[in-house]
Every structure is written in structure tokens, then in C-alpha cells.
């Protein structure tokens, strides 16, 4: 049955159909005074308590690979993020938020909805976390790249490093994501949406930090972040190529 669901979902992608069902209902968000960024409830908590099975997770990931690629590399144009090597905590929270309607993602919702229960959330998250982080990903390509990266480094080290780490490794038990290897355009889009209040499941602590940055500063921070690598977590260099 799972294979049939995957096949049907992939067929929808091939036909250019984004919705395999109704979008998840809205249930408040950062704009609500009662919003709790990481409430300890729901299927997210159930999934976090379970041990993920990577073999089962690999099968469940097949439907994800159509957009995020079998390697978990995502798309350099920023439409789909790099997932490989991401913390299970972050993956489970984001999938659970999309399934519950707390994060608006109408493209991903139909596919997240194919995961049947908290165990499958844990399984696919475990598989994704175990993937090496691709070294080839979307970076800032402007002629002033060196300057932008230098500016971004200065800004990052002032307020981003504490949560996302020196090498973009994040903090697993605090649900802070890995950003090393992430695509420049995806980072810029997400930070802009968080700053502008369009990411309903954003961490309020991050909103307070990022809301003061202008577009040019977000470009610089994203340029630096997309240049980061995590020692021991990146994929091995391909023959004839340097990391």
C-alpha cells in the first residue's frame, strides 16, 4: 500500500499537481498571543520518543526524494531545501508542524500527509539525518561574493553563532537546525519570511534577532551561511574534485 501511495504522489508531481488533498487546517501561529513555538504535545512528541528505523525510513523517503533528491541535496534554486544531515528533532518538528497546519507549505503538505504515524516520522527523520551533507550546493554567486561573505561572517558571529554554531551545526536538543550545506537562495527566502512574519511556526527568539536586519544584511548573512561546512558530516569529495 505504501508503494502505491508513493507512486500516486510521484505521478502528481509529474503532472504538475501540487495538491494531493486539502491543505492542513490553520491552527494559529506566531501571530497568536497563545503561540508556543515548541509545545510539548501532539504527534511530534510521540515521534521524538521513538527510535527511528533507517531501513524503513529509506522506503518512506522515496516520496520525498522526488523534490529533495535521493541524496537529500534539495535544489540550488532554493525551491526545496537540503535535508541531508539535518537533526531528527528539526525534521520531526517541521513535518509535524506542516501536517498539523502550523507551518504553511501547500506543496509539501500532500507528501508529508502520506506518512502514516509518529513511528514513520521517526523512521524517515532517522534516515535523512544519516545522509552525508552534499558539498555541491547553491551559494551566493555575485561578483562581490568575497565581500558579502566577509560582511555576513561578522553579522553571523554577533548573533547567529550561539544557536547555529561555528560550523553551522545547530543544536539538536534545542531544535536549532543544521545550516551547513544549505542553499543560499533557500536561506535568504526563509530568513526574509521569518523577518517579515510570514513563517507562522518561526522561533520567536529568532524573530526578535532577525527583524532588525535589512535586505542587504540578510543577503550577506545568507552568503556566509551557505559557505559553511561541517567537518566529518560533509560528503566525500568526488574523484577529480576538491572539497
CATH of 145-225, one of 1.10.760.10, 3.50.50.60, 2.60.120.560, 1.10.3210.10: 1.10.760.10
Identify the weakest region by mean pLDDT among 26-40, 65-79, 228-242.
26-40
Q: What angle do CA 68, 73, 79 make, to 5 degrees?
A: 55
Helix (H/G/I), strand (E/B), else coil: 128: helix
Q: Is the pLDDT of residue 92 over 70?
A: yes
Q: Is the pLDDT of residue 151 over 70?
A: yes
Helices (runs of H) and strands (runs of E) counted in the chain: 11, 0
What is the C-alpha separation between 231 and 160, in angstroms, rounded? 19
Query: Which ranges in 15-166 belong to alpha helices (H)?
Result: 42-48, 54-68, 88-100, 109-112, 118-129, 145-159, 161-164
Give residue limits of the domains in the chain: 2-15+38-129, 145-225
CA distances from 180 to 12, 47, 85, 132, 227 (A): 31, 25, 9, 11, 7
> What tens digit of pLDDT does each residue of 35-82 get?
788 888 889 999 999 999 999 999 999 999 999 999 999 999 999 999
Domains 2-15+38-129 and 145-225 in one fold: yes
Q: Give the per-residue pLDDT at 8.
A: 45
Q: Give the per-residue pLDDT at 13.
A: 42
What is the C-alpha separation between 157 and 185, in angstroms, rounded? 20
The CATH code for residues 2-15+38-129 is 1.10.760.10
Reported pTM? 0.88
> What tens digit of pLDDT does each residue of 167-222 get?
999 999 999 999 999 999 999 999 999 999 999 999 999 999 999 999 999 999 99
**Number of C-beta neighbours around residue 72 at 10 A:** 24
What is the C-alpha separation between 55 and 122, in angstroms, rounded? 12
> What tens digit of pLDDT does each residue of 8-21 get?
444 444 434 444 45
What is the C-alpha separation between 168 and 179, in angstroms, rounded? 5
Amino acid at each position: 500500500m505504501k508503494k502505491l501511495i508513493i507512486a500516486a504522489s510521484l505521478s502528481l508531481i509529474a503532472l504538475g499537481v501540487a495538491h494531493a488533498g486539502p491543505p492542513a487546517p490553520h491552527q494559529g501561529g506566531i501571530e497568536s498571543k497563545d503561540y508556543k513555538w515548541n509545545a510539548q504535545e501532539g504527534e511530534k512528541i510521540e515521534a521524538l520518543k521513538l527510535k527511528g528505523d533507517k531501513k524503513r525510513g529509506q522506503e518512506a523517503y522515496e516520496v520525498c526524494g522526488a523534490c529533495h533528491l535521493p541524496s537529500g541535496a534539495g535544489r540550488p534554486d532554493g525551491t526545496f531545501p537540503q535535508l541531508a544531515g539535518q537533526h531528527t528533532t528539526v525534521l520531526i518538528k517541521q513535518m509535524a508542524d506542516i501536517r498539523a497546519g502550523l507551518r504553511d507549505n501547500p506543496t509539501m503538505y500532500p507528501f508529508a500527509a502520506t506518512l502514516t504515524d509518529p513511528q514513520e516520522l521517526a523512521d524517515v527523520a532517522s534516515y535523512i539525518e544519516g545522509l552525508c551533507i552534499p558539498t555541491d550546493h547553491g551559494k551566493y554567486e555575485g561578483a562581490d561574493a568575497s565581500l558579502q561573505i566577509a560582511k555576513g561572517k561578522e553579522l553571523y558571529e554577533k548573533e547567529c553563532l550561539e544557536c547555529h554554531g561555528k560550523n553551522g551545526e545547530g543544536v539538536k536538543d534545542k531544535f536549532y537546525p543544521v545550516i551547513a550545506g544549505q542553499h543560499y537562495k533557500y536561506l535568504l527566502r526563509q530568513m526574509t519570511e521569518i523577518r517579515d512574519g510570514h513563517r507562522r511556526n518561526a522561533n520567536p527568539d529568532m524573530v526578535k534577532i532577525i527583524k532588525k536586519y535589512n535586505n542587504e544584511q540578510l543577503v550577506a548573512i545568507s552568503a556566509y551561511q551557505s559557505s559553511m561546512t561541517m567537518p566529518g558530516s560533509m560528503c566525500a569529495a568526488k574523484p577529480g574534485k576538491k572539497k
